[in-house]
Amino acid sequence: MTAGEWALADVHDLVAGAVPEREMIVCGTVRRTYAAVAVRTRALGVFFVRRGLGVRRERSDLERWECGQDTVAMVLFNCPEYIETMLGAFRARAVPFNVNQHYRPAEMGELLASLDTRAVVYHRALGPLVASACDISRLVLVDVDDGSGVAPLPGSTTFEEAVLTPATEVLPVPSPDDLYVVCTGGTTGQPKAVLWRQADAYVSAMSGTEGATGESIVAAASAPNPLSPWYAVPPLMHAASQWTAFAGMHGGGTVVLHDDSGSFDARLILETAERERVGMMSIVGDAYARPMVEELRRRPYDLSSLRRLGVGGAATGDHLKDAFLELIPDVTITDGYGASETGGMAFGARTRSLSTTGWLPSTGATVISADRARFLEPGDEEIGWTVRRGRVPLGYLGDRERTEATFPIVNGERVSIPGDRARFLSDGNILMLGRDAMVVNTGGEKVFVEEVEAVLRRHPDVADALVVGRASERFGQEVTAVVALRPGAAVDPAALREFVAGEIARFKAPRAVIVCETIRRHTNGKADYRWAQEVAIDAVEITRTSS
């Protein structure tokens, strides 16, 4: 631990002390101030401590891939209690972690077991899922009444009872070394628990400043925030949405949450943005952008307060960004690049009059050589890897091998290499080429699928597209496009190949095309490449393009 480092509960206390009566969380009809959340989360912290949760071994006694704190699973839709659970657990020096409520019982059970879960905070509607996933008799259970009519699990304490726990004893003093844990979505493999020191996550992912003092935190929270309220639309079970929420709160802003317990509703999202006069809104890729653009074109919304639209987490087509700029002329679209293993690494900005080339790296973001032995300089032609230096995670829980591969020691410092290929442009920006796991090796050439997908989505008849590789006797692998068309559209596969070949090298153009009704994506909007691979390989009838 070094001077100027912060535990997240301590940051919250400073902000709450500076702006106690300011609204901190708005979700539907629920509105809670910073002071109210501080009181509730202190009581929740005491509740956890009284049930034996806390720290078992200090960070100094652990390897990078080990956790010495008790863990609290959050099986919740978006709600104020989600953030309160995190802060309450931090106060007890326990570790909250995100759980995808769309998991099947076996998937959830495996995740809970891998984190040696001690407590579960859950919406009552999700209680049966929790009960079928694990042995609940050994767990501390806290239920959030969601109005579903589903009974709480046996032995469960209601959340409102837990936050009324008399705070008669002193809570443990949190440490900047205490963990913040985020479980990856498992888009290209099994979910992994990423272990961050809270002090590192605060700076790298939650808008904290290096060397912050108590005075500087209070001053930042007290100053007018032109982007407040911040509207975190995606589920809090995903890291990017948590980071949006905590970044807003660390600046003393009001955070608006979208109720994600039902199906995606662009109308409700836009009505909320209009009613709350939000200044910043975060969404995820085409899956969110397309229906929102369609709704904006159906009827007008007063979004004159909206100054920034964040579109990170998954690819958002240029045509949709252009549509937003047409419909909300004064907005700046910020495209963020990052990962659970890095925090926010780089950004691109787009307005009606300005568009950046490549990605502007944030502090610590750079490019490392293909052999991971040296850091590249701007203008180097080598295709390397994106890398973050400085404040990066410790590792993956319980996995030394993956920890040392993703968070290696390079020239004496621990870095994070999330697995994306890139080039370092001469102007200092980074040209992202795509995840190395999503590279198709065809005829001796490497094709980054995200580059091909971006071109496919620019075709006027294509609504969405994913690209994968499948086995080919001639090329080893062949580029295969899985596309969904716009309503009423039809497309000739050979013409689609020529369209792509007209914008990028012909060897990158799809050699096989299959049309699906919809493109399957995860709940956070990210591509489901495992599904696309199955479709591309197993489809009996697939339309082949010309050679």
Give the tens place of pLDDT for each residue, 51-108. Answer: 999 999 999 999 999 999 999 999 999 999 999 999 999 999 999 999 988 888 988 9
How many CA atoms, within 13 angstroms, populate the side-chain half-sphere of residue 373? Answer: 2
Q: Tell me the whole-structure pTM to 2 decimals.
A: 0.84
Q: Exposed (0-12), middle (13-18) or buried (19+): which is 21, by Cβ within 10 Å?
A: exposed
Reported confidence tier of residue 540, pLDDT bands at 50, 70, 90: very low
- Strand 332-339 relative to strand 343-350: parallel, antiparallel, unpaired? antiparallel
Query: What per-residue confidence (pLDDT) applies to 470?
Result: 84
Note the residue count of the chain.
547
Q: What letter represents residue 547's amino acid?
A: S
pLDDT above 90 coverage of the chain, percent: 62
CA 49 to CA 435: how far, in whole Å? 42
- Residue 149: left if φ>0, alpha if ψ -120 to 50, beta else—which one? left
CA 156 to CA 192: how far, in whole Å? 28
Q: Are 171 and 94 in contact (CB under 8 A)?
A: no
What are the tens digits of pLDDT across the range 29-45?
Answer: 999 999 999 999 999 99
Q: Exposed (0-12), middle (13-18) or buried (19+): which is 541, by Cβ within 10 Å?
A: exposed
CA 423 to CA 433: how far, in whole Å? 8
CA 367 to CA 376: how far, in whole Å? 6
391: CB partners within 8 A, 6+ apart: 199, 200, 201, 203, 204, 343, 364
Query: What per-residue confidence (pLDDT) applies to 401?
Result: 95
Alpha helices in 362-514 (DSSP H): 400-406, 449-456, 493-501
What are the tens digits of pLDDT across the range 398-445?
Answer: 999 999 999 999 888 999 998 888 889 888 888 887 776 677 878 767
Give DSSP secondary structure letters for 342-368: TEEEEEEEE-SS-B-SSBEE-TTEEEE
Q: Which residues are paired to 194 by β-bridges?
A: 182, 396
Full set of structural domains in the chain with CATH: 33-211 (3.40.50.980), 364-435 (2.30.38.10), 443-544 (3.30.300.30)
Q: Are 448 and 504 in contact (CB under 8 A)?
A: no
Lowest mean pLDDT, pick from 69-78, 130-139, 192-201, 369-378: 369-378
361: CB partners within 8 A, 6+ apart: 345, 346, 428, 429, 430
Reported confidence tier of residue 541, pLDDT bands at 50, 70, 90: very low
**174 preceded by cis ω (within 30°)?**
no
